[in-house]
Structure 1
Amino acid sequence: MSDPISIATTELVIGIAAAPISQAIRPGEIVGLAGLDGHGQERFLEILAGLKAPLSGRVVLDGPTGRTEVTGFRKAVANGVAYLPRDRRATGIFPTQSVLDNFAISTVGRDTMLGLIRTQHRRRRYETYRDKLSISAPRPDAAITTLSGGNQQKVLLARALALEPGVLLLNDPTRGVDVATRHVLYDVFRNLAREGMTLVILSSEIEEILLLCSRVLVFRENEVTAEMTGDSMTADNVIAAMFGRAK
């Protein structure tokens, strides 16, 4: 992991006629995003990742080397942000490539010397994350499509962590995976936070957010209409806020 990085939004407007969003997420925090589909939480996460531009406002990273504004995906990645997409089949895996190639595609520069790929070096990096995430794969050169959905998701997470980010943005990271894989991922996320990483998790499952996060932002009509911590973080309160009914 790189040095701890906080991520903050200043007067960020993500929808027409929506109120601006000003939030700061600190190293070691796991913040959850909740809301009905299409109410802005996914757009907010993609703006944090530099994948989409806000209508106005700024996203700023604050780390040991100073402050940097996120103005695009490449700049976000270069400054310590990693993003795990929601739909692994459509926007995550490269189905014609091997497990190893899918893992290493974002960090290929770390495996090359004089223009040549150091195969053993790349394999050792993969094995480190394979063990850390309990990836079950027959061999590194197997096609990624031979893996279960949960193990494909672990490979994508390994790819993101290989960037050594300070901020990890997770878009419904346990969608479509089995219960055992979910609990492996939960442990990984908690350990990353303990190590000082900043995590933002969008989940379609309220119980998952309540289980993992220390704070939840509830979105409605492209605004953060509720922010909950501690005892106020209950399923009833989150659902009420999602439907615009304050409790």
Structure 2
Amino acid sequence: MAEAKALRVRGLVIAPGVDPISQTIAPGEIVGLAGLDGHGQERFLRALAGLEQPVAGEIAVDGKAGSITSFRKAVAGGIAYLPRDRRSTGIFPTQSVLDNFAISTVSNDRRLGLLSFAARRRRYEAYRQRLGIVAPRPDAAITTLSGGNQQKVLLARALALEPSFLLLNDPTRGVDVATRHVLYDVFRGLAAEGMALVILSSEIEEILLLCHRVLVFREQRVSAEFSGAEMTTDTVIAAMFGRAA
């Protein structure tokens, strides 16, 4: 994994006329994003990934010149993004498990200028074991896998970039309970190794279980931030609806 760095958000405005957001996401931290649908949490996450342009402000990575203004710059800055809808924006349904895994890191499989399929299989195998991907064989169509295993392949693809920051858009949506707990263990392990994670989740219990702190979005701004003992279901739900707990 890349050297531990912080992701710094300065004066970020994600919609016209709303308060700016300033945050520092530290190495080894898991930050949750919560809010009612359409209140800005997904827009914020996509801005961090360089997929959506903010109205104003800057997103920067320690030690990197310039701000994150595109997906390419985000990847170059050590940011990996796992999309919410794996079927429409994640997997390549006509491709194999192996090709879906390797599509973002093809250059890692070159040996003496030539593509090494053995190197690609070795890389895939390391992530298959770490994430517990259940697939009949690497050349099987990705559509033959369960939803949970497709999600693990997408996570493996993101981790193969060796990012400092992992942005997760509802990562356990539509996966079974067993897979969900495998993913939780992986996320905690990545944070323990120094990776920073930002997790948007539609399930408050998931955020409370995984995250060190939570940013609650309401009307396109961060309306509340909780950590430690104050981070409870009641406080988060109250903030989502604009009420005091």
TM value normalised by structure 1: 0.97
In the other structure, the counterpart of 1:101 is 99
What pairs with 1:139-154 in structure 2 (closer than 5 Å)? 139-154=137-152
SS class of match (2:222): strand
In the other structure, the counterpart of 2:197 is 199
In the other structure, the counterpart of 1:57 is 57
Contact 2:7–2:24 (CA<8 Å) still a contact in 1?
yes
Contact 2:14–2:220 (CA<8 Å) still a contact in 1?
yes
- Looking at structure 2, the residues matched to 95 and 33 of structure 1 have their Cα atoms a distance apart, in angstroms, of 29
What pairs with 1:1-247 in structure 2 (closer than 5 Å)? 1-62=1-62, 65-247=63-245
Unaligned runs of 5+ in 2: none
- Looking at structure 1, the residues matched to 28 and 82 of structure 2 have their Cα atoms a distance apart, in angstroms, of 18
SS class of match (2:229): helix
TM value normalised by structure 2: 0.98
Moved more, 157-166 or 72-81: 72-81
- Looking at structure 1, the residues matched to 177 and 32 of structure 2 have their Cα atoms a distance apart, in angstroms, of 20
How many equivalent residue pairs? 245
Contact 2:64–2:77 (CA<8 Å) still a contact in 1?
no
Moved more, 108-117 or 161-170: 108-117
- Looking at structure 1, the residues matched to 66 and 108 of structure 2 have their Cα atoms a distance apart, in angstroms, of 24
Q: CA RMSD in A?
A: 0.9
- Looking at structure 2, the residues matched to 78 and 107 of structure 1 have their Cα atoms a distance apart, in angstroms, of 12
Identical residues among aligned pairs (%): 73
Unaligned runs of 5+ in 1: none
Residues 84-108 of structure 1: CA deviation (Å, up to 9, x unaligned): 0000000000000000000000000
The Cα of 1:12 is off from its aligned counterpart by 0.5
